[in-house]
């Protein structure tokens, strides 16, 4: 009986495979289980999308419209100046006033965006200083807060106390605690009052309004008004663009924290099962809209507040909803 050639198990290619003779069965080979190689995940090749003709078309049309409007305005202004009478000069003066007002609006929007970004930067640095116990960074946060609230007459006492004791504190957490106690905590009750007042207005109006469209318009307007008042309270004074940016930040905060879910079970837990069972459909809808406004207000306070909650207590949703519903 001929011996078949055997070789140790190893990695091989297809052409390396050796066939056994048909009359001879291969001897069983005992091998150790080797770990399978982990396949490498290759990055998806960049296939590219080529030229975006739709974007090119929209950009070209926008450029043509802007150029045509500029030429028309230029010719119109020259024709007014060529009149050399009071009508032409009055029109030129009004046109200059229009450009000046447009410039001031642009500057106001830019300043509003800058102030909103300043609040976010202070909050970010305060979080880092508290987490790392960084005294120089905490002192920078205190200095930024003093510049932010330096013109506020309602915070004069807090500014004086912070300037008096900040150099005697050796710990970053204690300095942030003092900054919150003297400058930010006195603003929190006003913020709570703004949220409660807006939620009450939304509840009452949506409970008595005759149509859903009126409800939507009023709820949206009142929530934007609440966001503006909260941001102004904490030092942002937003314009239109910064207000829209703030609204986006608040909605993002609500989605990330997972706190938008409101329903009958939440309302019943707040004001009781018996009372909600006796409410009419319109009153229940008004209470629901008020609770939604309350949740948006709490998220807006979290976004606009320049310091994290260190020793102050964050507004509680259930307490505010109970206050809006008039339940104690």
CB 317 within 8 A of CB 294: yes
pLDDT at 281: 65
Cite the DSSP H helix spans in the chain: 53-83, 86-132, 135-148, 156-165, 172-179, 188-208, 212-233, 240-257, 264-271, 273-278, 281-304, 317-325
CA dihedral 7, 9, 15, 19 (to 10 degrees): 50
Q: Give the orientation angle of helix 172-179 with respect to helix 135-148, to 10 degrees.
A: 10
pLDDT at 254: 84
Termini Cα distance of the chain: 100
Backbone angles phi, psi at 259, to 5 degrees: -110, 25
CB 297 within 8 A of CB 250: no
* Separation CA 86–CA 306 (nearest Å): 53
Answer whether residue 173 is part of any domain. yes
Give the end of a domain, one of 168, 186, 204. Answer: 186
pLDDT at 195: 93
Q: Smallest Cα–Cα separation from 262: which of 189, 320, 192?
A: 320
Each of the 328 residues of the chain gets a pLDDT tens digit; together they read: 444 455 555 544 444 444 444 444 444 444 444 555 544 545 555 555 556 788 888 989 999 999 998 888 888 878 877 777 777 778 778 888 988 999 999 999 999 899 999 998 999 999 999 888 888 899 999 999 999 998 888 889 999 988 888 888 888 889 999 999 999 999 999 999 999 999 999 988 888 877 778 888 888 999 999 999 999 999 888 888 999 999 999 988 888 876 555 554 455 545 554 455 455 666 777 788 888 899 899 999 999 999 999 888 888 888 888 877 665 5
pLDDT at 151: 87
Let me know whether 116 and 100 are in one domain. yes
* Separation CA 125–CA 139 (nearest Å): 10
pLDDT at 14: 41
Considering just the CA atoms, what is the radius of gyration of the chain in Å?
34
Which residue range is the domain that position 126 belongs to? 89-186
- Copy the structure tokens of residue 118: 């300043």
Give the end of a domain, one of 186, 221, 246. Answer: 186
Give the end of a domain, one of 133, 164, 186. Answer: 186
Answer whether residue 213 is part of any domain. yes
pLDDT at 94: 85
pLDDT at 46: 52
CB 112 within 8 A of CB 239: yes
pLDDT at 171: 86
Please count the structural domains in the chain: 2
Task: Kindly state the DSSP code that residue 225 receives in the 8-state scheme.
Answer: H
Let me know whether 148 and 215 are in one domain. no
């Amino acid at each position: 009986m001929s011996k078949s050639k055997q070789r140790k198990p190893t990695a091989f290619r297809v052409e390396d495979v050796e066939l056994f003779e048909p009359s001879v069965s291969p001897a069983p080979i005992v091998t150790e289980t080797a770990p399978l190689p982990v396949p490498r995940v290759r990055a998806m090749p960049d296939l590219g999308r080529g030229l975006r003709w739709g974007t090119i078309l929209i950009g070209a049309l926008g450029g043509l419209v802007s150029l045509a409007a500029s030429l028309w305005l230029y010719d119109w202004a020259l024709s007014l100046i060529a009149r050399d009478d009071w009508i032409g000069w009055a029109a030129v003066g009004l046109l200059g006033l229009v450009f000046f007002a447009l410039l001031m609006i642009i500057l106001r929007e830019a300043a509003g965006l800058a102030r909103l970004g300043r609040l976010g930067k202070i909050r970010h640095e305060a979080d880092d200083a508290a987490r790392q116990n960084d005294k120089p960074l905490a002192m920078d946060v205190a200095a930024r807060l003093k510049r932010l609230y330096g013109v506020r007459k309602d915070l004069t006492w807090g500014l004086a106390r912070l300037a008096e004791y900040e150099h005697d504190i050796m710990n970053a957490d204690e300095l942030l605690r003092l900054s919150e106690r003297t400058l930010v905590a006195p603003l929190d009750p006003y913020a709570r009052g703004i949220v409660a007042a807006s939620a009450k207005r939304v509840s009452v109006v949506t409970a008595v309004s005759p149509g859903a469209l009126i409800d939507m318009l009023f709820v949206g307007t009142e929530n934007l008004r609440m966001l503006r008042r909260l941001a102004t309270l904490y030092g942002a004074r937003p314009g239109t663009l910064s207000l829209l940016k703030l609204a986006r930040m608040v909605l993002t905060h609500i989605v990330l924290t997972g706190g938008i879910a409101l329903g009958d079970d939440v309302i019943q837990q707040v004001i009781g099962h018996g009372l909600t069972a006796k409410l009419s459909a319109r009153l229940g809808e008004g209470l629901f809209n008020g609770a939604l406004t309350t949740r948006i207000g709490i998220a807006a306070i979290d976004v606009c507040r320049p310091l994290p909650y260190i020793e102050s207590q964050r507004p509680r949703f259930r307490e505010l909803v109970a206050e809006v519903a008039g339940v104690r």
